[in-house]
Amino acid sequence: MTSGPLGSDAVLHGFFRSSASYRVRIALNLKGLAYDNASYRLARQDQRGPAYLAINPQGLVPALTFGGQVLTQSLAICEYLDEVHPEPALLPADPLARAHVRAAAQVIACDIHPVQNLKILHRLRALNIAEDDVTQWARTTIEEGFDALVALLPERDSDFCFGETPSLADLCLVPQLANARRFGVDLRWNRLLAIEANCQALDAFSKAAPENQPDAV
């Protein structure tokens, strides 16, 4: 792997089970970019400590630091990497096709994941909502989102969400399917599962998997 445009001091601040961190790990791996890991235990609220808040005032992972710069928000990080290290491309060159890929990625990153992430589930529990109902909230959010995502993908079958190479949409899909399994979602979307299998056959995806991270427990 090379340091590329990030330099030799790139650090991904994240957590092995964070799906947003997972997206960025895949992007870094696809681009062949080297980085170090800094891990924050989300259940322990490490990301809310003053040291990390000085990096990312949102108190969310991931953040990518390099050369005195800080980038936050996983999709913004992935698009930056795509712009400064354009091969292999995560977004197509055609503006209309690029918009379709971004829309599919945002179905997951904006409309599924934020509604079932740890912060929201903690708030539901704080309202004394039963644990079974909290889990069902997450399941329903994922199921509705995946129903919409499948309908938005091109009708023709392809190895990945949009064509024969992974895109930003695939980087979002694979971590969200991992989340779906954690919540016991009935995975009834054969096309999404086929895309996932094609992604996981690539080293960039398999090396980014949560169980293969140094902080995995």
Domain boundaries, the chain: 4-88+206-212, 95-205
pTM above 0.85, yes or no: yes
How many Cβ atoms sit within 10 Å of the Cβ of residue 7? Answer: 12
Phi and psi angles of residue 106, each rounded to the nearest 5 degrees, phi first:
-75, -25
> Contact at 8 Å (CB) between 199 and 47?
no
> Contact at 8 Å (CB) between 47 and 61?
yes
- pLDDT, residue 8, reads 85
Both tokens of 168, joined, read: 């930003």
pLDDT in tens, the chain (217 residues): 665 678 889 999 999 999 999 999 999 999 999 999 999 998 888 899 999 999 999 999 999 999 999 999 999 999 999 999 999 999 999 999 999 999 999 999 999 999 999 889 999 999 999 999 999 999 999 999 999 999 999 988 899 999 999 999 999 999 999 999 999 999 999 999 999 999 999 999 999 999 999 999 7
Which of 136, 171, 142, 132 lies closest to 21, judged by CA?
171
Phi and psi angles of residue 60, each rounded to the nearest 5 degrees, phi first:
-125, 150
Q: Residue 40 and residue 144: Cα distance in Å, rounded?
A: 30
- pLDDT, residue 1, reads 64
Alpha helices, DSSP H only, in 108-202? 118-126, 131-152, 168-182, 190-200
Both tokens of 155, joined, read: 């009708």
Strands of 36-39's sheet, edge to edge?
36-39, 11-14, 63-66, 69-72
| Residue 56 φ/ψ region, left for φ over 0, alpha for ψ in the -120 to 50 degree band, beta for the rest | beta
Which of 74, 44, 43 lies closest to 56, judged by CA?
74
How many Cβ atoms sit within 10 Å of the Cβ of residue 110? Answer: 14
92: which DSSP letter?
A: -
Q: Choose which CATH entry (3.40.50.300, 1.20.1090.10, 3.40.30.10, 3.40.190.80) describes domain 4-88+206-212.
A: 3.40.30.10
163: which DSSP letter?
A: B
Query: What is the architecture of the domain spanning 95-205?
Result: Up-down Bundle (1.20)
Q: CA separation (Å) from 171 to 32, 58, 84?
A: 15, 22, 18
Q: Residue 175 and residue 82: Cα distance in Å, rounded?
A: 19
54: which DSSP letter?
A: T
53: which DSSP letter?
A: H
- pLDDT, residue 3, reads 57
